[in-house]
Chain A
Amino acid sequence: MTNATSTTRCDEELLRLSQSGDEAAFAELYGRRGAGVYRFALQMCGSESVAEDVTQEVFMALIRESALFDAGRGALSSYLYGIARNQVLRRLERERHFVALNDEAEAWGDIPNSEYASARPDPLAELARSETIESVRQAVLSLPAHYREVVVLCELHETSYAEAANILGCAVGTVRSRLHRARALLVERLGAMRAESGVEPESMSRVRCFA
Chain B
Amino acid sequence: MNCREFSDYAAELARARMLEAAMREDALRHAGSCGACAARLRSEQSLTAALRTTAESMNGTAAPPGIESALMAAFRESRDGGRVPARASLAESPAAARVSAARFAGWRRRALAASAVAAVLLIAFTAARRAGLNSSPALSQETSINSPSAGKVETNTPHHLANNIQQTLTAVKTSTGKLSGRPDKPKRRETAAGLGDRERARPRQAASFEVDGGRAVFADQNEVETGAAGATGVSADTESLTDFVPVAAGAGSAPLDGGQLVRVQVPRAALASLGLPVDADRAGGTVKADVLLGHDGTARAIRLVR
Contact = CB atoms under 8 A, between A and B. Distances in A.
Given A18-B75, A56-B90, A104-B99, A87 B3 contact: no
Interface residues of A, number: 72
A61 B192 contact: yes
Interface string B170-205: 000000000000000000101011011000000000
Given A60-B192, A104-B99, A179-B11, A52 B64 contact: yes
B60 A115 contact: yes
Contacts of A207: 36-37, 39-40, 43
* Size bracket of the B interface: 35 or more
B76 A209 contact: no
Contact of A209 (B40, B62, B74, B95): B40
A211 B34 contact: yes
A56 B3 contact: no
B140 interface: no
Contacts of B192: 57, 60-61, 64
Nearest to A98: B103
B51 interface: yes
Decide if the interface of chain B is mainly helix, strand, loop or mixed: helix
Contacts of A112: 57-58, 60-61
B36 A211 contact: yes
Given A83-B195, A112-B61, A56 B67 contact: yes
A209 B43 contact: no
A70 to B, nearest CB: 14
Interface string A94-123: 100011010110011001110110000000
Residue among B3, B37, B79, B98 facing the most chain A CB atoms (10 A cut-off): B79
Contacts of A179: 11
Contacts of B58: 39, 42-43, 108, 111-112, 156
Contacts of B52: 155
Contacts of B76: 23
A111 B47 contact: no
B63 A49 contact: no
A116 B57 contact: yes
A140 B53 CA distance: 13
Contacts of A48: 93, 95-96
A18 B75 CA distance: 9
A183 B61 CA distance: 24
A94 B99 CA distance: 14
Contacts of A204: 43, 46-47
B54 A137 contact: yes
B77 to A, nearest CB: 9
A1 to B, nearest CB: 11
Interface in A23-75: 23, 26-27, 30-31, 34-35, 38-39, 42-43, 47-49, 51-53, 55-57, 59-61, 63-65
Interface string B77-114: 01100001001001101011011101100110000000
Contacts of A180: 8, 11
A102 to B, nearest CB: 10
Contacts of A142: none
A60 B8 CA distance: 41
B63 A156 contact: no
A60 B36 contact: no
Contacts of B75: 18, 23, 26, 63
Contacts of A186: 47, 51
B70 interface: yes
Interface string A162-195: 0000000000000000011001001100100000
B7 interface: yes
A187 B47 contact: yes
Contact of A211 (B2, B72, B98, B190): B2
A206 B71 contact: no
A30 B74 CA distance: 13
Contacts of A64: 78, 84, 192-193
Contacts of B103: 98
A200 to B, nearest CB: 13
Contacts of A151: 51
A57 B71 CA distance: 9
Given A21-B79, A57-B195, A107-B95, A187 B43 contact: yes
Q: Lowest 3 A-B CB distances belong to which pairs?
A: A112-B57, A209-B36, A49-B96
21 contacts: A30-B72, A34-B62, A39-B61, A49-B93, A52-B96, A61-B192, A64-B193, A101-B98, A129-B53, A132-B50, A133-B54, A136-B50, A136-B53, A156-B51, A158-B55, A186-B47, A187-B43, A190-B50, A207-B37, A207-B43, A209-B7
